[in-house]
Structure 1
């Protein structure tokens, strides 16, 4: 998810011209929905977009980020699929999942559906995901956990586990919080999430998420969010009049290696991607940097 673009306190109107899907996005949506006609698929996506936008008018909804794949374009994606095939009972969490397009892609590519979990602050997004992909909780039975990662009721602060838990885990579809998953997740994906918060809250979020990861070597947290060549505040303000704080590759690496985990516990890989786009909301070309990253247990 991302910040909302607003003008005079009101959400910016939707703009159909922003509907642009790459071949991989279109093929996945078409296959998942069974809609083969490009115009019919566009009409369907626009209809769902209008509903989602009334719930929370985030910019990524307006820009059709919910209909575009992220996860399969990351270097860590093949490692995720390998864990699903080779590690017995490997559990995967898509955190801040929005409508669930990324966890659905992972399942479509072979990650066991009964070992995947999704979570977001807004359960309405998950419900809209069923509408977008023409599924039901029965036909796509990935459990969804509505949770605020900063709320101890859903994710209590925990130490980094050094051994996998030995007590049995409740069935995934009975979980009402993320805390029972501490030390049990082989993989966590989270994108467009960390950049929603100031620097100190990004560190807190990393410290809350990290204990969820299994201590088994190869367990991985990965994703992408706003970044900069040098850490600091973005020059352009977001819709709330705030300069977004962004890490650079080195500061993000140091955060995980020295402030979240102990030195030698993880391998961190990061790189910046520059993106240039036309933004009708501000009537100008906008250049942004995205930080693509992974944190792997050693």
Structure 2
């Protein structure tokens, strides 16, 4: 084995190491009650078996792709029910028009299962993630291989053939597109590129909406996690662009210019600075990102 091969293998092993600080040994304080309730009521897992099931599935997902959201149990957090637009989304999905929702970067798609449990026909629900094994494993996690009729498609949002292959027939299909903990994986240019694809996926009608949540940063700017974070292939510090209200509005302004939709969007957003004492309790820990001014950012972008 050459020195380069040895270094690459060392990096691979370090990414999967359970000694990484974002691999939490104890789930206590990190599994919200509504996530536990979903596993009990929707997945029909006995309450006394839920914890063992979570640990088993977390380690399986970690062995596939060791993202911080897996190590920190965030893959089970339901983001949509706490979003300011949730009630509107729920009522619209239940309407006679039966619109479609896409959860982009959905990991194991817990929000889609939550919507199905709330009475939304799962045939209206779509999800996509880069890691195909997250999607296939989600059926085992939620015990719904025979009951969940939603569409889960592995795809790379940056693929040049996205709309000819994985997302064929999806252009202009969705009334709602949700992206939780997704855009913050990228730098500014890639966020713009991903958002251009999202605009293509949205229905070209008033009320169509892109919404989500992600790590944010006071003032907006590049922030990074440590090298060997498990989300990159090179032994370098990983940098992403994090937003607050002002920087996100600027980003979407650029997206609007590139998609010839200037003046056709209503943006609502909110940034809250993290509280370190809450972080230690597992409340939106955001432990991967380093530096001052880190917080949580919630947004919606609606066609008008």
TM-score range, shorter chain: 0.7 to 0.9
Report 1:267-278 matches (<5 A).
267-275=266-274, 276=276, 277-278=279-280
Q: Distance in 2 between the 1:235 and 1:35 partners?
A: 38
**1:288 equivalent in alignment to 2:291:** no
- The correspondence for 2:33, drawn from 14, 17, 23, is 23
Identify the structure with the greater strand proportion: 1
Q: Is it true that 1:147 corresponds to 2:152 in the alignment?
A: no
For residues 287 and 247 of structure 1, do their structure 2 counterparts lie closer, same or farther at Cα, with a shift above 3 Å needed? Answer: closer
> SS at 1:181's partner residue?
coil
Say yes or no: does 1:241 pair with 2:232. Answer: no
Alignment TM-score, normalising by the size of structure 2 = 0.81
Partners of 2:293 and 2:198 lie apart in 1 by 30
2:252 to 253, 256, 274: 256
TM-score under structure 1 length normalisation: 0.82
1:229 Cα deviation after fit: 1.4
1:209 to 187, 192, 198: 198
- In structure 2, distance between residues paired with 1:151 and 1:258: 20
* Structure 1 gap ranges (5+): 1-5, 157-175
How far apart are the structure 1 equivalents of 2:220 and 2:294? Answer: 13
Q: Distance in 2 between matches of 1:273 and 1:30?
A: 31
1:82 aligns with 2:87: no
Residue range with higher mean Cα deviation, 107-116 or 203-212: 107-116
2:3 alignment counterpart: none
Equivalent in the alignment of 1:120: 129
- Partner Cα distance (1:198, 1:53) in 2: 24
1:16 aligned counterpart, secondary structure: coil
Please give the root-mean-square deviation of Cα atoms over the aligned residues, in Å: 2.5
* Secondary structure in 1 matching 2:297: strand
Give the aligned partner of residue 14 of structure 2: 9
Question: Within 5 A, what are the aligned runs for 1:125-140?
Answer: 125-136=134-145, 138-140=146-148
In the TM superposition, residue 255 of structure 1 has moved relative to its aligned partner by 2.3
**Matching of residue 103 in structure 1 with residue 112 in structure 2:** yes
Instruction: State how many pairs are aligned.
Output: 270
Structure 1: which 4+ aligned runs deviate by more than 6 Å? 284-287
Which of 27, 30, 44 pairs up with 1:34?
Answer: 44
**Greater CA drift, 230-239 or 113-122:** 230-239
Moved more, 55-64 or 210-219: 210-219
Q: Which moved more, 1:245-254 or 1:285-294?
A: 285-294
Shift of 1:237: 4.2
Alignment match, 1:196: 185
Q: Secondary structure at the match of 2:203?
A: coil
Q: Identify the residue that residue 165 of structure 1 maps to in structure 2.
A: none
Measured in 1, the distance between the counterparts of 2:101 and 2:224 equals: 36
SS in 2 for 1:61: helix
The answer (yes or no) to whether the contact 2:175–2:208 under 8 Å persists in 1 is: yes
TM-fit CA distance, 1:99: 0.7
CA, structure 1 residues 110+179, in 2 after alignment: closer, same or farther (shift >3 Å)? same
Residue 70 of structure 1, CA deviation: 1.1
